[in-house]
Amino acid sequence: MDQSSSYPRAIVHFDGDSFFASVEQAKDYRLRGKPVVTGGERGSVTSLSKEAKMLGAHRGMPMQEIRRVCPSVIVLAGDYTAYSIYAKRMYAIAKTFTTNVEEYSIDECFADITGLNESRGQTYEEIAEAIKEKLELSLGITFGVGLAPSKTLAKVASKRNKPAGFTALPKERIEEVLKDTEIYDVWGLGGAHSAHLRGLGVVTAFDFIQKPAAWLKEHGFTKPVRDTWLELQGYPSLGLSIGAHAKPQSVMVTRTFTPPSMDREYIFSQLSKNVEAACAKVRRAGLKASALSFYLKTQEFTYHGVQLDLLAAYDAPPEILKAIRKHFNEVYAEGILYRASGVTLRCLRGENAVTPDLFGAYAESQEKVGVFRAQDLVNRRYGRNTIYLGSSMQALVRSEASYRKKVSKGFVSASTDGKKSLDIPYLGTAH
């Protein structure tokens, strides 16, 4: 059957319902049918089962309030390893239908099934529903699914009929559905843009696509908004990002420390801890970074940071910490309270693509790499932070203390207790 006028392209969006809470229920049958929330590790709700939603709980709610409002609720610390395993299964299942799958986030993916109707002798609707059924049977989780001619419309569609809904949005239905879609709910138009549009009298997504291109230009809207405007009309202008293109461009680790601090060494050690974590991530991805930025966030929520280029590409902390130490005073000021720090490793390249620099800095750092590989192994086996740098010690000691306090108050299940710990206090110092 020819569906090419309804779907010049056929894009499907899959969105796991209440993903984290659903994974918990899928893993442990005793949690099914019960009000479950995740986020116990940070004291506020990140995901809720539908039973918890029915009791009046909602996202971002503090745990103490949740317990008061619905005492029967089961609070869990997020198990991100499990969530990412489920995510990988989701991608793998979608890929049994087509290789054109974008791994968009931990609980969502897009598939471009254009042309599969001809090759399979089924309609696009039948194919989308077949994928949905396979996902739900294999994972034990329901999905919101949308089929449309563009990514943005597929997102609009998958949001409807929650949970476990399927919505087909061919070109003929665009007007009807967009009249029922608030401008705030459109993917790609955030607070700033939708408020601007509201101010210009645009209330629904349909109002938006009625405006001519010249109107967008006149009011200073830029490319991302124009792309969204095209996509909503059924003209796909956002490609799927697939495969090699999906390698990360940057890796970031940021952490708030409580209480805030003015202590120079303590704040540097926070940064050091972030650098260690970021390097571990980069190594896991088989990449190296040749640029970075780091910042401190004050108690007033202002940011102070710098960007740096490195002489070579690294995946281990020493050179990176050396660079940060050199520029630390450009960012840190005496007598100011800081609440968070962060580091971003940028200009990431595959390990084999690294060109050693002329001054031998790369070769020198290579000698130390073996140490960090061993550290990865130990930490995988015995738990995070079994081995860490001396420069990170202050940060870890304090966060450990506050963690134990939370455990003893019952805010967090003490799953990491009882892990073996090695008697190796630190690896050396990065000064």
Specify which residues 303 forms β-bridges with: 297
Number of amino acids touching DNA (CB under 7 A) = 44
- Contact between 218 and DNA by CB under 7 A: the answer reads no
Q: Given the rule CB under 7 A, which of 166-174, 243-251, 316-324, 363-371 is the region that contacts DNA?
A: 243-251
Using CB under 7 A as the binding rule, whether residue 107 contacts DNA is answered as yes
Cα 5 to chain center, whole Å?
A: 35
> Which residue, 62 or 428, is less far from DNA as judged by CB?
62
The residue range among 30-38, 169-177, 337-345, 364-372 that interacts with DNA, by the rule CB under 7 A, is 337-345
d(CA 281, CA 251): 7
> In b/e form, how buried is each residue of 338-356, taking b as 16+ CB within 10 angstroms?
bbbbbbbbbebeeeeebee
Per-residue buried b or exposed e for 6-16, using 16+ beta carbons within 10 Å of the residue's own CB: bbebbbbbbbb
Interface positions, 338-357, toward DNA (CB under 7 A): 340, 342, 344
Tell which one of 267, 277, 396, 430 touches DNA (CB under 7 A). Answer: 277
| Lookup: tokens for 2 | 């020819």
Q: Is the peptide bond before 259 cis (omega within 30 degrees of 0)?
A: yes
**Residue number with CB closer to DNA (116 or 225):** 225
Minimum distance from CB of 186 to DNA (Å)?
A: 7
What would the two tokens of residue 278 be? 């970021």
Binding DNA (rule: CB under 7 A), the pick from 56, 248, 350, 428 is 248
- Measure the CA angle with vertex 212, ends 209 and 216; round to 5°: 90
Indicate which single residue of 250, 366, 379, 386 sits in contact with DNA (rule: CB under 7 A): 250
Q: In the numeric block, which tokens belong to residue 399?
A: 């966060």
Identify residue 176 by its one-letter amino acid code: E
Among 309, 351, 364, 400, binds DNA (CB under 7 A): 309
The residues carrying an active-site annotation are 108
Shortest distance, position 146 Cβ to DNA, whole Å: 12
Cα(92)–Cα(57) distance, integer angstroms: 33
Residues 30-59: x/- map of binding to DNA (CB under 7 A)?
Answer: ------------x-x-x-------------
- What angle, rounded to 10 degrees, do the helices at 124-139 and 80-95 form? 150
- Binding positions for DNA, rule: CB under 7 A: 42, 44, 46, 60, 62, 104-108, 155, 186-194, 222-224, 241, 248-256, 277, 281, 293, 301, 305-307, 309, 340, 342, 344
